[in-house]
Amino acid sequence: MPLLHMETSGMITTSDHKISLLKTPPSPTTPEHQPQGCVAAATPAHRFARILLPLGAAVALLPWTPPWAALLAGAAIAISLGNPFAKLTAKLSKPLLQLAVVGLGAGVNLAIVGRVGLQGIGYTAAGLLATFVFGALLARWLHLAPRLGALISAGTSICGGSAIAAVAPAIGATAAETSASLATVFLLNGVALLIFPPLGTLAGLDPHAFGLWCALAIHDTSSVTGAALTHGAEALATATTVKLARALWVVPVALAAGWWFARRNDGPDTTARRGVKPPLFIAGFVALSALFTFVPAIAPAAPWIVRAARAALTLTLFLIGAGLDRASVRAVGARPFVQGVILWVLVGSGTLAALKLGWIH
């Protein structure tokens, strides 16, 4: 009989298996815990949730709904009222997330990415590797699940929520791990918009250097452009171009992370059970990028596809939030945010030092 013991990292292990506690049993408010013969919608909370969840999904598709708000709204409804559509939201979230990532490829111009990316390929690769190494060490120190630590590292080092959206299905991350990493990144994005402009001025960065710093040290593209715009057109152009080139690194990172975690064979949805296979949605992302790069005639359709993909991504975040329960939130706790803050400070200060020393230009 295998021995059973509890680890401080939130995992139950036996001599043969390791099972994550992040996928916890449904909370007492979910349909699975209803007495036999009862309907989940019988309680007032579930009746209210049956109204709010479809309404929230519809609002998530509106172009002015920010992704962070959709994630928090879905989580708030599920945690407070329960999710009577738990099986449906879980079934839809993964394929919708992958479809959204493919659609975002329409906004990536491979010619620009190749030209800019080759100029900084050395420090970009070194920065990504250092971020993932430090992220793994911090995750171990904080007793976080390895997949959760990897998602926070991906969001910090590449392009925030979009990187997490691409890497999460590739490594078989749970809804709780995906939600915690996204919430961490979205919160730090808001902080970056406030502190980066004055810090750039205080550090004496010229517009080009400030644009580089924003692109390399702020998570999401939206926050990068918002912060860079405060230092003029040159800073904005530099930040946008460099961030676009950096975003394409999500392809090799997702493939490498998927391969690594598949070999570990310790997750609830690991690909190791069926062999290491490249995620098809990453291939779709690259194919769509190539199509819109090398077929100029269809270029006018790219903004519409990207807009639809962002709407799909926002809806997916709402569904991921709706897949949470109280037990999942308690299991994760505040440790992901601690890792995110420490890792972000290391990346931001290290990048600033490299710019001031002339190592990055």
For 199-220, how does the pLDDT look when each residue is reduced to its tens digit (9 = 90+)? Answer: 999 999 999 999 999 999 999 8
* pLDDT higher than 70, residue 36: no
Per the CB < 8 A criterion, the answer to whether 123 and 67 are in contact is no
Residue 229 inside a domain? The answer is yes
Instruction: Note down the domain range covering 148.
Output: 4-356
Burial class (CB in 10 A: 0-12, 13-18, 19+), 256: middle
Per-residue pLDDT, averaged over 172-190, amounts to 88
Per the CB < 8 A criterion, the answer to whether 33 and 27 are in contact is yes
- What is the domain count for the chain? 1
* pLDDT higher than 80, residue 194: yes
Average pLDDT over the chain, rounded to an integer: 82
Residue 361 inside a domain? The answer is no
More confident call, 34 vs 150: 150
Per residue in 134-180, pLDDT (tens digit) is 999 999 999 999 999 999 999 999 988 889 988 998 898 988 899 89
Per residue in 61-108, pLDDT (tens digit) is 998 898 888 988 998 999 999 899 988 998 898 889 889 888 988 888
Residue 272 inside a domain? The answer is yes
Residue 233 inside a domain? The answer is yes
